[in-house]
Amino acid sequence: MEITTKLIQELREKTGCGMMDCKKALTESKGDFELAIDYLRKKGIAAAARRADRTAAQGLIESYIHLGSKIGVLTEINCETDFVAKNTDFQQFAKDICLQVAAANPLYVTRDEVPDGAVDHETEILATQARNEGKPEKAIEKIIQGRIEKYYAEVCLLDQPFIRDQKKTIKDLLGELVAKIGENIVIRRFTRYQLGEKS
């Protein structure tokens, strides 16, 4: 079955999930709408989307200093209640995010934070690369889309593969935690320091 934009939009309206998550769910379920909803629910994405509007003003600031004291990370993770901030799963998640930032060095938390200029610049470079590789002009746009996805997976924390389990992204990990705990959880911000690095 063809995965149309209309079908993706319908799933988005029904679940509140993002377009890319809905497209992936429909692809995985071969266009079956109900199976796609189940897929999103199992991943915890649907639960996370429904809770995303709820205020998350509690939480904690977690820190991590890498062995040898050459890399340090501060991360703010928010939840709805102080009770959840004391939950061991929540605290472990905060520690995992610190390790992720230390190891994978993302620049942004979400895609929304990436400046338009940075994406335009990357698109321009990728188009030039594709042309230099002799790719046909008709295929270049699709090639760029695929490579931009890889770019997001490098620079955006939520899009990165989790260092402890490469089959999951940080967004998947967050969705699972939201589904388990039942509160909106937000990775608010992070700062990564590397010894000798220019600010």
Q: Is the pLDDT of residue 132 over 80?
A: yes
Q: Is the pLDDT of residue 3 over 70?
A: yes
Helix (H) or strand (E) holding 193: strand 186-194
- The conformational region for residue 38 under phi > 0 = left, psi -120 to 50 = alpha, else beta, is alpha
Counting residues of the chain whose pLDDT is more than 90, the rounded percentage is 43
Q: Is the pLDDT of residue 72 over 60?
A: yes
Tokens representing residue 78 in the block: 């928010």
> Same domain for 102 and 163?
yes
> Quick one: pLDDT band at residue 119, thresholds 50, 70, 90?
confident
Give residue 64's pLDDT: 96
Distance CA 53, CA 76 (A): 18
Residue range 6-19: average pLDDT? 76
Distance CA 192, CA 199 (A): 11
User: 38 lies in which domain range?
Assistant: 5-43
Q: Tell me: the pLDDT tens digits for 79-102?
A: 988 898 999 999 999 999 999 999
> Same domain for 27 and 100?
no
Give residue 47's pLDDT: 55
> Same domain for 71 and 125?
no
Residue 53 domain-assigned (yes or no):
no
Number of domains in the chain: 3
Residue 52 domain-assigned (yes or no):
no
Residue 49 domain-assigned (yes or no):
no
User: For 163, which DSSP code?
Assistant: T
Give residue 187's pLDDT: 96
Torsion sign, CA atoms 130, 136, 137, 138: negative
Give residue 1's pLDDT: 65
Residue range 178-185: average pLDDT? 86
Mean pLDDT of the chain: 87
Phi, psi of 142 (to 5 degrees): -65, -40
Length of the chain: 199
> Same domain for 68 and 103?
yes
